[in-house]
């Protein structure tokens, strides 16, 4: 095995400094990645009375009234981590689209088997029509027709779902309007009008998003705002923030050294939800 080294070149130091990572923090991360702590030992499951509290139904009106009073006073808002990218969701499909092979793995086959049932199916039919495909044929079987479907679904000149954040993917169909499925982002906006609305109709929401998706979320908000506010007689007070790059983490290669991109720079990955405490 190659000896584990931590070179920390001048370029490394500049890169870490640029994102706000100290050398000491980089060393700490490497130590944890190389020698991770033992996993937590599960003693027993949570059960009613042992980790799970059951509320007395007779007390529910009291708790609901307190929550409604807090909302009316403007003391409640929604905080939603929404920086997840959809690329990983479509990884197998993108690999199939970008290769010339006719072989499909199980994930690709499962996707096409259930394609007509996805919430975005009606929107995909419209996109297919624009790229010269058959908008009625979502059960294509040949590699050529399936690549055309994926092009319309994932590529930038189609629906571009592979480049969207997960929160903006058509996800929830409704029987009364199946042609316009709702995104998770839209669902949060509607839900906020019932959950956090204050006595003046103001609904406070905050979304953490990736820097590359801020404009997409802002555009989606302006598209949805008028309809939601008009139907609910409320005002959406929405703000956005991005995760600090200072919470990024290093990655290791197979030899336990810092993983590097093709250009030799350190690969830094966004931290988990705990990294959003500063945003909260």
* pLDDT digits (tens), the chain, 280 positions: 445 556 789 999 999 999 999 999 999 999 999 999 999 999 999 999 999 999 999 999 999 999 999 999 999 999 999 988 877 788 888 888 887 665 667 888 888 888 888 898 888 887 776 655 555 466 666 777 788 888 888 888 788 898 899 999 999 988 888 778 999 999 999 999 999 999 999 999 999 998 989 999 999 999 999 999 999 999 999 999 999 999 999 999 988 899 999 999 999 988 888 889 989 9
- Residue 32: beta bridge partners? none
What does each C-alpha distance from 243 to 110, 220, 240, 246, 250 come to in angstroms?
Answer: 34, 20, 10, 8, 16
Q: Is 29 helix (H, G, I), strand (E, B) or coil?
A: helix
- pTM of the full structure: 0.82
CB-count exposure of residue 50 (10 Å: 0-12, 13-18, 19+): exposed
Provide the β-strand partners of residue 65: none
Q: Cα angle vertex 195, ends 194, 197, to 5°?
A: 75
- The C-alpha atoms of residue 172 and residue 187 are separated, in whole angstroms, by 9
Q: What gap in Å lies between CA 75 and CA 77, rounded to an integer?
A: 7
């Amino acid at each position: 095995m190659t000896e584990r080294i931590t070179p920390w070149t001048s370029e490394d130091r500049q890169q870490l400094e640029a994102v706000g990572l100290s050398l000491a923090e980089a060393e700490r991360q490497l130590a944890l990645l190389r020698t991770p702590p033992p996993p937590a030992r599960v003693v027993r499951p949570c059960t009613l009375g042992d980790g799970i509290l059951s509320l007395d139904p007779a007390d529910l009106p009291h708790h609901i009234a307190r929550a409604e009073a807090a909302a009316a006073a403007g003391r409640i808002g929604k905080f939603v981590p929404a920086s997840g990218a959809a690329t990983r969701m479509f990884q197998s499909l993108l690999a199939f689209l970008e290769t010339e092979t006719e072989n499909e793995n199980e994930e690709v086959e499962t996707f096409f088997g259930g394609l007509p049932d996805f919430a975005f199916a009606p929107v995909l039919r419209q996109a297919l029509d624009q790229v010269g495909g058959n908008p009625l044929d979502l059960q294509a079987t040949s590699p050529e027709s399936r690549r055309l479907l994926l092009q319309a679904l994932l590529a930038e000149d189609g629906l571009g779902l592979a480049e969207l954040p997960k929160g903006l993917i058509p996800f929830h169909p409704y029987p009364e309007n199946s042609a316009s499925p709702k995104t998770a982002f839209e669902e949060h906006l509607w839900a906020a009008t019932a959950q956090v609305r204050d006595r003046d109709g103001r609904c406070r929401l905050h979304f953490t998003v990736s820097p590359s998706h801020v404009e997409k979320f802002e555009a989606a908000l302006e598209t949805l705002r008028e309809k939601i506010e008009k139907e609910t007689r409320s005002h959406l007070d929405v703000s956005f923030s991005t995760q600090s790059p200072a919470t990024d983490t290093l990655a290791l290669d197979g030899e336990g050294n810092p993983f590097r991109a093709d250009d030799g720079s350190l690969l830094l990955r966004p931290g988990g939800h705990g990294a959003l405490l500063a945003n909260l």
